[in-house]
């Protein structure tokens, strides 16, 4: 999997750039504020439903311009695709080889990007929301079914909260059961991902430390002790 070419126009502080990255290793360097992170963000958006920096689309469009464009030619498993992304303050459009993309899952596997930026160190100091958000992005990249599972949970949560806000308990038990079922699916997939990551972390960290130190990575959602979906569902209920 590789990015063969990248063209960006009117994206953040970038007026226009065209890049043909090396198939091996690429390094971006320059003074602060020149747009290095913006280039990385543009690449990330070719394969992700949202930016790793903001959820506000107007911030992505260069000041004074109507829209931003990102074009990327990607190759994976011997197949080449042209991904075109148009960002406007009110929405965005994505095309793969000229055909409109309506679901984020259609981008899955075209280009997988792993991002770690200075802002991510805040996960240690801030609340659990930022850690969950980072974990969700990571799980989605390796599990195409996770996005649908996550959206299902959010949809049910919104409906249940609407009932509570209006003091309407009609069908509340049913929505609570559905929420626990969807939540169990989200947690189970997160636990599975962290377990795989932990195994790799232990292997490589032991090598780096020369067998002197060990390291562990674990995920502990509040009130949940099990790793099996059915038991998690009962615990959430």
pLDDT for 188 equals 96
Predicted confidence band of residue 63 (pLDDT cuts 50, 70, 90): very high
Pairing of strands 79-88, 68-76: antiparallel
Reading the block at residue 24, the tokens are 């091996």
- pTM of the full predicted structure? 0.71
Q: Which of 17, 15, 20 is nearest to 73 (CA)?
A: 20
Query: At residue 193, does pLDDT exceed 90?
Result: yes
Q: pLDDT exceeding 90 applies to what percent of the chain?
A: 65
pLDDT tens by residue, 67-98: 999 999 999 888 899 999 999 998 899 999 99
Reading the block at residue 18, the tokens are 């065209």
Domains of the chain: 2-115 (3.40.50.300), 119-236 (1.20.1050.90)
Q: Which of 133, 126, 143 is nearest to 188 (CA)?
A: 143
Residues 6+ away with beta carbon under 8 Å from 169: 163
DSSP helix/strand/coil, 49: coil
pLDDT tens by residue, 11-52: 999 999 999 999 889 999 999 999 999 999 999 999 886 888
Count of beta carbons in the 10 Å neighbourhood of residue 159: 13
Distances (CA, A) of 178 to 45, 158, 171, 183: 32, 12, 11, 8
C-alpha angle 91-51-151 in degrees, rounded to nearest 5 = 75
Q: pLDDT exceeding 70 applies to what percent of the chain?
A: 100
Predicted confidence band of residue 106 (pLDDT cuts 50, 70, 90): confident
Contact 10, 67 (CB under 8 A): yes
DSSP helix/strand/coil, 75: strand
């Amino acid at each position: 999997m590789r990015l063969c070419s990248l063209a960006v126009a009117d994206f953040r502080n970038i007026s226009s750039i065209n890049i043909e990255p090396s198939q091996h290793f690429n390094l971006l360097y320059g003074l602060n504020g020149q747009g290095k992170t913006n280039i990385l963000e543009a690449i990330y958006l070719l394969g992700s439903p949202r930016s790793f920096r903001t959820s506000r689309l107007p911030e992505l469009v260069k000041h004074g311009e109507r829209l931003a464009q990102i074009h990327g030619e990607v190759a994976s498993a011997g197949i080449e695709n042209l991904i075109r992304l148009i960002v406007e303050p009110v929405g965005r459009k994505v095309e793969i080889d000229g055909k409109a993309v309506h679901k984020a899952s259609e981008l899955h596997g075209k280009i997988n990007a792993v991002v770690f930026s200075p802002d991510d160190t805040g996960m240690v100091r801030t609340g659990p929301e930022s850690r969950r958000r980072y974990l969700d992005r990571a799980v989605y990249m390796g599990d195409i079914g996770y996005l649908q599972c996550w959206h299902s949970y959010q949809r049910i949560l919104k409906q249940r909260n609407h009932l509570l806000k209006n003091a309407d308990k009609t069908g509340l038990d049913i929505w609570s059961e559905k929420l626990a079922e969807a939540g169990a699916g989200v947690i189970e997939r997160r636990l599975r991902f962290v377990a795989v990551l932990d195994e790799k972390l232990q292997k490589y960290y032991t090598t780096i430390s020369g067998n002197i130190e060990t390291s562990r990575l674990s995920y502990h959602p509040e009130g949940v002790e099990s790793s099996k979906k059915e038991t998690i569902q009962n615990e959430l209920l």
